[in-house]
Amino acid sequence: MTSTTPQSAQAGGPALPQERRVVTAIPGPKSQELHARKLASVADGVGNVLPVYVQRAGGGVVEDVDGNSLIDFGSGIAVTSVGNSAEAVVRRAAEQLADYTHTCFMVTPYEPYIAVAEALAELTPGDHAKKSALFNSGAEAVENAVKIARAYTKRQAVVVFDHGYHGRTNLTMALTSKNMPYKHGFGPFAPEVYRVPVAYPYRWPTGPENCAEEAAAQAIDQISKQVGAENVAAIVIEPVLGEGGFIEPAKGFLPRIAQFARDHGIVFVADEIQAGFCRTGQWFASEDEGLVPDLITTAKGIAGGLPLAAVTGRAEIMDAAHSGGLGGTYGGNPVACAAALGAIETMRELDLCARAKRIEEVMKPRLAKIAENQPAIGDIRGRGAMIAIELVKPGTKEPDAELTAKLARACHQAGLLILTTGTYGNVVRFLPPLVIGEDLLNEGLDVLESAFAELA
């Protein structure tokens, strides 16, 4: 990895300087002006992490309208893994834009949709026959995975997990665990959704070594006794839980749950919307424990920033829904499909799975070093370029959401864009674009270290 973004990943036009540059207060005057317009015209329910308005973005930086250049440790929430406006994404999407923008795949179909479905069949785990259906957003993909599983099994119940996040539509709010801000005041929620424990090693009452076995036993017991395995259509889980706090279920938990699903004819759905597409150092996070999910939901990283999502899985399950039962006006839009083919080309050409692993190699030891002086860092976890620290009151495991918010603010002020997450709001997550230069990655960590020191 070099200090600048590889040329092959950058779009045409003058290359965006790969540097941190803070030339005004954050947010600057032009951003503040735009923000006043935003507050007057955009619904309050649509919040912002940082009201800095974007001018350009690429490689490992986001440049704002005031001329500040922020190091990007967020990738628009794990989307621009190939970098913003990556060359192959722009080229392919632009060619597609010039040819046709939309016909509706359900009316008169087109080749890019099929090429994406073929790529998904090739890249997702398992060598069985697979099919896909394309959608616009992650939530839509998860909803459709549930529809398909219900059509296939002719059962209704859906099992999800503590700390899980699956979206903001009515069904996916029901599947999501955290009340504020995702669900509060928006009920009633869809029925036949059951939540069971997940193996969260850091917070498992009897310790991480017992976590996988005990959590799996509890989850399976609850499903069996409270729902009845024979009533369950789908078990839906993120192989690394994103909005819940980058929780990696203790090793052994996921295979045990997948085996239970197999034994009882339940469709096992891996929600790889945040963790997929090289983010964790594999094409899909499921691969780390050799999981072969029946269905996989993808979105975010799939198309380099254009809205596209997919459900991919066993052909016989995917074919269970009747013709016309799946789809939507825009699902698998040709420009988004072309962008996805460009993103996948970039991931392959630049071996972005290897880059994600390298990002972990750089970040984990540096975070461990910072933690030596920062007793608030209770846990460092994650893999590839999906890394997090969980902040607690020193000497306890009491979540410190206030420090987390202060730390994020201090980093933003210094030109580092970081995001927080977690059920308790006490996790700082790092999701840099996989094409970020190593110098910039280290500089971002310097900023984080200084912000910690200032706050201590």
Q: Which of positions 40-99 make contact with ligand PMP (CB under 6 A)? A: 77
Residue 87 CA to residue 230 CA, distance in Å, equals 49
**Minimum gap (Å) between residue 40 Cβ and ligand PMP:** 25
Q: Which stretch binds ligand PMP (CB under 6 A): 5-13, 86-94, 137-145, 194-202?
A: 137-145
Q: Whose Cβ is closer to ligand PMP: residue 340's or residue 414's?
A: 340
Q: Provide the token pair at 451.
A: 């912000």
**Minimum gap (Å) between residue 452 Cβ and ligand PMP:** 26
**Minimum gap (Å) between residue 246 Cβ and ligand PMP:** 11
Tell me which of 137, 312, 333, 374 binds ligand PMP, using CB under 6 A: 137
Return all residues near 221 (Cβ < 8 A) that are at least 6 apart.
none
Q: Whose Cβ is closer to ligand PMP: residue 142's or residue 367's?
A: 142
Q: Whose Cβ is closer to ligand PMP: residue 5's or residue 144's?
A: 144
Q: Which stretch binds ligand PMP (CB under 6 A): 22-30, 123-131, 133-141, 351-359?
A: 133-141
**Minimum gap (Å) between residue 207 Cβ and ligand PMP:** 27
The contacts found for 373-382 with CB under 8 angstroms, 24 or more apart, are 373/452, 373/453, 373/456, 374/452, 374/456, 376/400, 376/403, 376/452, 378/202, 379/202, 381/202, 381/246, 381/247, 381/248, 382/240, 382/246, 382/248, 382/280, 382/429, 382/430
Asked if 142 is part of the footprint of ligand PMP (rule: CB under 6 A), the reply reads yes
Query: At 52, is the secondary structure helix, strand, or coil?
Result: coil
Residue 319 CA to residue 325 CA, distance in Å, equals 10
3-to-150, 185, 359, 436 alpha-carbon distances in Å: 49, 47, 13, 8
**Minimum gap (Å) between residue 70 Cβ and ligand PMP:** 21
Side chain identity, residue 12:
G
**Minimum gap (Å) between residue 230 Cβ and ligand PMP:** 27
Q: Whose Cβ is closer to ligand PMP: residue 296's or residue 362's?
A: 296
Q: Whose Cβ is closer to ligand PMP: residue 77's or residue 94's?
A: 77
Q: Whose Cβ is closer to ligand PMP: residue 242's or residue 342's?
A: 242
Asked if 132 is part of the footprint of ligand PMP (rule: CB under 6 A), the reply reads no
Q: Whose Cβ is closer to ligand PMP: residue 28's or residue 305's?
A: 305
Angle at 115 between CA 110 and CA 116, to 5 degrees: 105
**Minimum gap (Å) between residue 24 Cβ and ligand PMP:** 30
Q: Whose Cβ is closer to ligand PMP: residue 26's or residue 160's?
A: 160
| Number of residue whose CB is nearest ligand PMP | 138
Binding mask 265-294 for ligand PMP (x = CB under 6 A): ------x-xx--------------------
Asked if 304 is part of the footprint of ligand PMP (rule: CB under 6 A), the reply reads no
134-to-94, 141, 227, 290 alpha-carbon distances in Å: 20, 8, 31, 25
Helix, strand and coil content of the chain, in percent to the nearest 5, comes to 40, 15, 40
Residue 356 CA to residue 280 CA, distance in Å, equals 6
Tell me which of 58, 60, 125, 138 binds ligand PMP, using CB under 6 A: 138
**Minimum gap (Å) between residue 166 Cβ and ligand PMP:** 5
Q: Which of positions 225-254 make contact with ligand PMP (CB under 6 A)? A: 238, 242-243
**Minimum gap (Å) between residue 446 Cβ and ligand PMP:** 28
Q: Whose Cβ is closer to ligand PMP: residue 28's or residue 138's?
A: 138
**Minimum gap (Å) between residue 77 Cβ and ligand PMP:** 6
Closest CA to 166 of 252, 251, 261, 270: 270
- Specify which residues 313 forms β-bridges with: 131, 295
- Specify which residues 195 forms β-bridges with: 160
Q: Provide the token pair at 442.
A: 């280290």
**Minimum gap (Å) between residue 79 Cβ and ligand PMP:** 9
For residues 421 and 245, the answer to whether their CB atoms sit within 8 Å is: yes
Residue 69 CA to residue 20 CA, distance in Å, equals 5
Q: Whose Cβ is closer to ligand PMP: residue 167's or residue 433's?
A: 167
Q: Whose Cβ is closer to ligand PMP: residue 178's or residue 366's?
A: 178
Q: Which of positions 160-189 make contact with ligand PMP (CB under 6 A)? A: 165-167
- Specify which residues 441 forms β-bridges with: none
The contacts found for 66-69 with CB under 8 angstroms, 24 or more apart, are 66/23, 66/24, 66/27, 66/28, 66/29, 66/30, 66/31, 67/21, 67/23, 67/24, 67/28, 68/21, 68/22, 68/23, 68/24, 68/26, 68/28, 68/415, 69/16, 69/17, 69/19, 69/20, 69/21, 69/415
**Minimum gap (Å) between residue 8 Cβ and ligand PMP:** 27
Q: Provide the token pair at 167.
A: 């979206």
Counting residues that bind ligand PMP (by CB under 6 A) gives 15
Q: Whose Cβ is closer to ligand PMP: residue 296's or residue 353's?
A: 296
What residue ranges bind ligand PMP (CB under 6 A)?
A: 77, 137-139, 142, 165-167, 238, 242-243, 271, 273-274, 299
